[in-house]
A and B are shown apart, each in its own frame.
Chain A
Amino acid sequence: MSHRLLILLASFILTIPAFAAELVGVPKITVVSEKSAVVSWKTDVETGTRVSYGLAPDQLTERAEGGVTAAHEVTLTGLKPGARYFFAVGTARKKLATGEFVASASAATAASAPSSSPATSPPVAPRSKSVLAKIFAPQATPPTRETWGNMASLADHFARHGADFRAKDADEYARMAWQLGERSKQGGLLVKVDDDGTRRVFDPKSGAFAAYNSDGTTKTYFKPNSRDYFSRQPGRAIAVPKP
């Protein structure tokens, strides 16, 4: 085979359009031990396998990967016992769903050894397989044009604030902003609602702030430099109970 033909073939392979994979069902999390968990999910076509995870929704800095398949399973190791983890499942290019779970020794032992104390009797991996999935919220994020208020301004907001969240492009930045708004409805974040319906949300843990129009679309999303920024913002504080 001539070099020219090889180059032509390689070019063809590289330009084959990728099929848009869709999630089938809901991903599952199985806590194997207080330091490890297995995430599994299915897709309608074979795709790559990647779980991005971390201790904050905008800091999914850890990765675990698998092969090309339609039935994906990845083991997360080195977890901090008792810590809440946020994660996204999908491929290297596309996140199909996001969620969160707690690496909990007590939950992991609940099904296999309910009477044992996690503090004195750490779970043994082979018999501690129990589904934790304490909180899992697969989120089919709407298109950016539906979540961002003023589309003409998005590029400027991303250029100015995108680095706060290590967003790789404007769509990811807008998606992160939308996800913060969704999380704010589940409790645990600081929320204020202004007279004109503007909803302001602050996550003290990550330092992320977002403001949303009364229709739920995003006005802006960034990490304030000043610690008391949110407290100086107008609006009535809303207590959102945790589910």
Chain B
Amino acid sequence: MKHVCPACHWPHLKEAPRTKSGGGSYEICPSCGFQPGVTEDDDGRSPAAWRKDWVKRGMAWASVGQPAPAGWDPAKQLKQRAR
């Protein structure tokens, strides 16, 4: 089962961003770089704030280890509602 990034709505996270107890998954989103459990809990930046900065930076693919899928469209992805 895939999960959606709360910041950029990347729909292919391997884990739910938050566990039932509220803990972060620590999975770094390859699309925008948001890291549940760190970006919010340590850096104090909400998904909305992170998203705003990501858009401001031009919505660049964040991962250095995983290539962006062919035809990846961040603007289209962002319009998808997180389920």
Contacts and interface: CB of A to CB of B under 8 A. Distances in A.
A150 to B, nearest CB: 6
B26 A211 contact: yes
Interface of B is mostly: loop
- Could you say which interface size class chain A belongs to? 20 to 34
A229 B21 contact: no
Given A196-B21, A235-B21, A153 B28 contact: yes
B6 interface: no
Contact of A234 (B14, B21, B35): B21
Among B20, B26, B43, max chain A CB count under 10 A is at B26
A162 to B, nearest CB: 11
A16 interface: no
Given A160-B35, A195-B21, A155 B63 contact: yes
B19 A198 contact: yes
Interface residues of B, number: 24
Contacts of B65: 152-156, 159
Contacts of B26: 211, 219-220
A230 B28 CA distance: 19
A46 B14 CA distance: 45
A160 B42 contact: no
Interface of A: 150, 152-157, 159-160, 194-196, 198, 200, 211, 219-220, 222, 224-226, 229, 232-235
14 contacts: A153-B27, A156-B30, A157-B28, A196-B19, A196-B20, A196-B21, A198-B19, A198-B23, A211-B26, A220-B28, A220-B35, A226-B41, A226-B44, A235-B21
Interface of B: 14, 19-23, 25-28, 30, 33, 35, 37-38, 41-44, 62-66
